[in-house]
Amino acid sequence: MSNVILLQSPPPKLEDIQRNIFKKEALQFISDLHYQFDTQIEALFKERLLRSLDAKSNANLEFKKSPERNDKTWTIAELPSRLQNRHLDLGDVSASNTAHFVSVLNADVQGIQVDFDDGHCPTWKNQLVAFQNINLAVNGKLLGAPHNIYTCPLLMLRPRAWNMIEHNILIDGKEAIGPLVDFGILMYHNGKKLFEANSGPYFYLSKLEGASEAKLWNDIFVWSQKVLGLPQGTIKACVLIENIYSSFELDEILYALREHSLGLNCGIWDYCASIIAKFGDRKEFMLPDRNKYVNMDLHFLNSYMKLVVSTCHARGAPATGGMAAAMLRPGSDGTDRESKGIINKILEAKLREIETGVDGFLVYDSRVVPYINELWKKNAGAFNQIHRKFDFNITAKDLLSIPTGGVTLQGLRHNVAVTILFIYHWLAGIGHFFYSGNVEDSATAEISRSQVWQWIRFSAPLEHDPNMYVTPKLVEKKASHFASHAHKNLCRSNAERKRLTAAKYMSVELFLMRNPPEFITSYLNDNHKYRTLHNKALQSNL
């Protein structure tokens, strides 16, 4: 076996869990994964860097004239019966939150997005608890959950994205790759059991930047199935199209994964943030206030969803829409007037997606599940809508036509607040939180901090007063005002107040950077403050 070192001692009461999860054979599997694919992953990082540099001078994306796109005859491999009906997944479910994980395993949905990415904070403790809870659920031993994994919704496992490094594991002297650790541990412990239960293993793949990265995942699937003795094609994966480059390579992505494809998914906020990350230093790509002007009815996002749906259906693949993040107020059963208003807004948005042709979508609040199920039954009827074929003529201009609209003071305040609160919760080891009636995660934090950065860069005028502009001074003022308010209303201890102050300063740093990091999670995962708070045992095993 390669030289594998766990840099973290197990947290209290998790000694046996760590020993079982990272037993010798599991370490061998993730070590072999790294040995097999390390060179290709390094090439992926270099390709991303070169592409980012090219984007600084060239925003003229075009669809490839590839054999995969030109050949209209191929389709993805036939899906297992349980995957043909996935009209509703619960999203942002971190298995490290045991109570929430147990509750969703009992929900009347087809799938659960078991998240190690947007809605999860990968502290060592969170990783261990999440791995253990998934293991227990698969084996029917998780207290309060069904005793047979087949009777649960499908576990749609979402490993970390390629940008995330696992700082707590060294393999041959190099820090491990986050998604390989997540995928490797989940596959080693649960792959064969999920297969035998006709329940997986199934995955969501985040933040891919094109077909070459889908091909890398396909190679990983092929290798893993061979090593673990699973039939080829057993693993199925849904690619989240949340990067502007990927939207120009949909056919190629589906083709690269055709034996393992579970279709494509639309992720609006990461997708918008990727446009800013790639082209946002040009004024023509300045995105207006997202709360007021950015939604799926806009031409550039509606075109993006239509393209995903039409491409998927032409290839026999399901296309799923985004997640409804709205939350009912605590304690509500959905029958009060305020909750009915929230539910109606969710249903209106989801009906538009059904009419566009999607085969399913995600929600966070399980209390809206009965209403969504009824909506689907009335308006779609069948398990999916793959039979609906579309001939949309979506052009590059359609995808890159940024909407007009301004910036509101309320929108600025909201983006500043979401950024600060996301960092504050990450420093506490929590990957998502609730604010102003919505669940917020790294996707909404990503678009929030990106927009503030962009508005400062171009001195965006404010709608209520065209002579007033977004300036560093104004942003710092709003950040300080929110932090002061949160100190009084959110923080309950001196440690929490210190953490909030740190979150404010880190947010302002992101807002003002000349060349901001592409991913807020990379920035936080690599940050000394975060690592100090959660890596107290670091090097204890060296």
Angle at which helix 178-196 crosses helix 124-138, to 10 degrees, equals 10
Q: How many CB atoms lie within 10 A of CB 156?
A: 28
State which H helix or E strand residue 505 sits in: helix 494-512
Tokens of 50: 């070169």
Measured between alpha carbons, how far is 451 from 55 in angstroms, rounded to an integer? 18
Handedness of CA 182, 264, 429, 509 (dihedral sign): positive
Q: Which of 89, 118, 158, 449 is catalytic?
A: 158
Cα-flanking dihedrals φ and ψ of residue 206, to 5°? -95, 145
User: What whole-number distance in Å separates Cα of residue 115 and Cα of residue 521?
Assistant: 14
Given the residues 89, 289, 441, 457, the one annotated as active site: 441
Phi and psi at residue 111, in whole multiples of 5°? -145, 165
Annotate 111-159 with DSSP letters as a single string. Answer: EEEEESSTT----HHHHHHHHHHHHHHHTT-STTS-SSGGGSPEEEEEP
Residue 337 CB: number of other CB atoms within 10 A?
A: 6
441 carries an active-site annotation: yes
3-state helix, strand, coil in the chain (%, to 5): 50, 15, 35
> What residues contact 537, with CB distance under 8 A and at least 6 apart?
7, 8, 9, 124
User: Which one-letter DSSP state was computed for residue 316?
Assistant: T
Residues written for the chain: 542
Nearest CA to 154 out of 237, 223, 255 is that of: 237
**Residue type for 82, please?**
R
Give me 261's structure tokens.
């494809």
Catalytic residues: 158, 441
